[in-house]
Chains A and B, each alone.
Chain A
Amino acid sequence: MSKPKLAFYWAASCGGCEISVTELGMRLVETGDLVDIVFWPCIMDFKYEDVEAMGDGEIDVCLFNGGIRTSENEHLAKLLRRKSKILVAFGSCANEGCIPGLANLYDAESIMERVYVTVPSLDETAGTLPMTSNQVPEGEIVLPEFYERLKTLAQVVDVDYFMPGCPPVVEQIWNVFQVILSGNLPPKGSIIGADAKTNCDVCTRQKGLSGARITEFKRPHEVEADPDVCFLAQGILCYGPVTRAGCGLPCINGNMPCRGCYGPPDGVVDQGAKLISAIGALIDTDDPEQIETIMDSLVDVVGYCYRFGLADSVLNELKYK
């Protein structure tokens, strides 16, 4: 029997997903013996033409990380969808937009303006902006089109499995490799490499402190957190109650609150709004003015509440309906 063909691709992402895969170390070498890696631009030299030359469905499994921000991202998403039997949205960006998805707060024009003209670190007064097509003496130079907003992989193509995490932790990657190699895959559309529970289910900090409420939302750098007590009880925003478990709590065990990168658990439609519903009920005041002050202490409410999931949120749908 021939070895299964595996492809990795990165679209609008940071590269952290690839690093997490390489953390497999010697197990990656072992994986190389069990599968044929047919496309992985970050690690090995392949060209897009190599993929185009493949037959439809020739790739057994494609692990696709990154969101869809440019025409190049979209082209590869569609190409790899066609060439792959199984397409996995790998990591938070492909699943729900992640940090690049926060750019959906702004339109494409103001992002370009900010990045290429007004950013303080840029010594640029000419206002030169990248263009999709540019005529130079040697001919036309083209760049991919920068779309109006970032889309998740499933907003562009049909996705078979969803593997959350920013990045997916290495043990879950190994688990998923085992599942793929065993051929015993769950039903299409399933979330893989994560648990059904939430992080609060597995977190062992002291919780449920009666009357422990909030008079200020504290940011992690502003306070030394008690490592044994629930972050929320200390006024530090923690995403644990609205976040799927499976990461092994590296942040919480490092005395940093969960930021929600494993996405919402079953039953939560909009992770940010659900978080607000929980933390809004924690405020400890009967003074309308102080309520405003408490809300003011939550700087950048969208950034906090939708750090990873904005591009896949109801809020995003309302803006880009």
Chain B
Amino acid sequence: MAHDTAHTHAETFADQVRAIPGGEHLEMCYACGTCVSKCMIQQKVDPEYNPRRLLRLVMMGMREEAFKSPTTWLCSACDLCYPACPQEIHISGVIGAVKQLAIEAGYSSPLETVSVDEDLCSGCGICVMVCPYEAPHLVDKEVNGEMDRFSEVDTNKCMGCGTCVAACPLGAIARPGVGNADILPQLEVGKANGDPRLITFVCDWSLRAAEDVSLLESYPDNVRVVHIPCTGRIDPEMALRALRSGIDGVLVCGCAPGECHYKRGTYVSACKIGLLGRMLDQMSVEGGLASGRVRFVQIGTQDRGRIRQEVDAMLEHLATQKEAAS
């Protein structure tokens, strides 16, 4: 998809954006702002984030301002705004076109992105297959006189969801704050914290209401909340290790189908946790494991207050199980 950068002088910035697949419907925006009301980024990350303003900058030929705008870089193409737009503009497509021009002009992504530890990378290419943004690719490099193959990440494409971090079998990929070394210590919840002990992995995007987010701070010590950028970051091995350490249950909260901030994370997690549950069930014996100890819930943008119900239900389930076992 190499874009021709030899633009003529007559071509406006808007023309350039329109020429890139996805950028075609730029001029149809009448700046109603419905897209902004749907978007989680403005609320959670940057108040300056505003797709309609970016589209306006493009139409006004304000190239540098558009390239510097957080909107250009923060959009993860979740497309929550797409069905809401009365003009049916594929807004993430337009933003993607602006981003492509920005990269060509020498700008780079301000996001925290993943990096590859080449000492650990085996070149298996799983990260390449799982990435929703086509950020990693395999490259051949000479190491100590021998050619070897490694994953290399285009940091301008990486949105930092961490799906590859969990999928990498060797822990060769990390993103600041969400590497294995960052998450594993958070899974240590001792007996002194109370009963039943529950680890709740929460996708930072799945909770829209401020009350739901602040609720997470209010739980007693037996409920450990682990924030992850996306449930695509979930690694079943972590859940097993938590259970082995004496944790009673693992709850994973992600986005509703169709609302995943990083396109595929919630589906990936549904499959991983689903398979983990099947594994636990198949291995179970009477009085042993029950798949109810690991749960995946998908919270929709309209599900205000649901996180409280889910955590409470899980705690009750675990308490009942423990009582029955004793």
Binding site for B on A (CB under 8 A): 105, 107, 197-198, 200-201, 207-213, 230, 232-233, 240-242, 265, 267-270, 272-278, 280-283, 285-288, 291-292, 294-295, 298, 300-302, 305, 314-319, 321
Contact = CB atoms under 8 A, between A and B. Distances in A.
B128 A210 contact: yes
A236 to B, nearest CB: 13
Contact of B122 (A200, A211, A212): A200
Contacts of B243: 314, 318
A198 B234 CA distance: 22
26 contacts: A198-B124, A207-B124, A207-B125, A208-B128, A209-B129, A210-B131, A212-B129, A230-B125, A241-B124, A269-B237, A274-B237, A276-B272, A277-B236, A280-B268, A281-B167, A281-B268, A282-B126, A286-B257, A288-B257, A291-B270, A294-B271, A295-B274, A301-B278, A302-B282, A305-B279, A314-B243
Nearest to B120: A267
A233 B129 contact: yes
Contact of A208 (B129, B169, B264): B129
Contacts of A268: 169-170, 237
B276 A208 contact: no
Given A273-B237, A276-B276, 8 more contacts: A200-B122, A208-B124, A208-B125, A269-B241, A275-B169, A281-B129, A301-B275, A321-B244
B267 A272 contact: no
A102 to B, nearest CB: 11
B151 interface: yes
B129 A211 contact: yes
A267 to B, nearest CB: 6
B235 interface: yes
A276 B236 contact: yes
A196 to B, nearest CB: 10
Contacts of A287: 257
In the A-B complex, the 4 residue pairs with the smallest Cβ-Cβ separation, listed nearest first, are A208-B125, A280-B272, A200-B124, A207-B125
**Overall SS of chain A's interface:** helix
Interface in B10-52: none
Nearest to B163: A281
Contacts of A212: 129
B93 to A, nearest CB: 18
A268 B238 CA distance: 11
B105 to A, nearest CB: 25
B284 interface: yes
A301 B129 CA distance: 22
B7 to A, nearest CB: 28
A275 B237 CA distance: 9
Contacts of A233: 125, 129
Interface string B256-294: 011000001001111110111011101111001100000
B126 A232 contact: yes
Contacts of A317: 244
B232 interface: yes
A301 B279 contact: yes
Contact of A272 (B168, B239, B272, B279): B279
Contacts of B288: 318-319
Nearest to B276: A276
B58 interface: no
B240 A273 contact: yes
A315 B240 contact: yes
Nearest to A208: B125
Contacts of A291: 267, 270-271, 274
Contact of A281 (B123, B124, B232, B282): B232
Chain B interface category by residue count: 35 or more
A287 B258 CA distance: 9
A302 B170 contact: no
Contacts of B272: 276-277, 280-281
B46 to A, nearest CB: 27
Given A208-B128, A210-B128, A201 B166 contact: no
B257 A302 contact: no
A318 B249 CA distance: 13
A209 B170 contact: no
A319 B129 contact: no
Given A233-B129, A281-B272, A302-B282, A208 B166 contact: no
A200 B138 CA distance: 13
Contacts of A286: 257-258, 264, 267
B134 interface: yes
B207 to A, nearest CB: 20
Contacts of A241: 122, 124, 126, 169-170
Contact of B169 (A198, A213, A295): A198
Interface in B271-326: 271-272, 274-276, 278-280, 282-285, 288-289
B124 A292 contact: no
A316 B279 CA distance: 11
Contacts of B239: 273
Contacts of B122: 197-198, 200-201, 241
Contact of A283 (B168, B237, B271): B271
Contacts of A276: 236, 272, 275-276, 279
Given A208-B129, A232-B126, A240-B124, A277 B166 contact: yes
Contacts of B282: 105, 300-302
A53 to B, nearest CB: 42
A237 to B, nearest CB: 12
Given A198-B122, A286-B264, A273 B276 contact: yes
B125 A298 contact: no
A281 B126 contact: yes
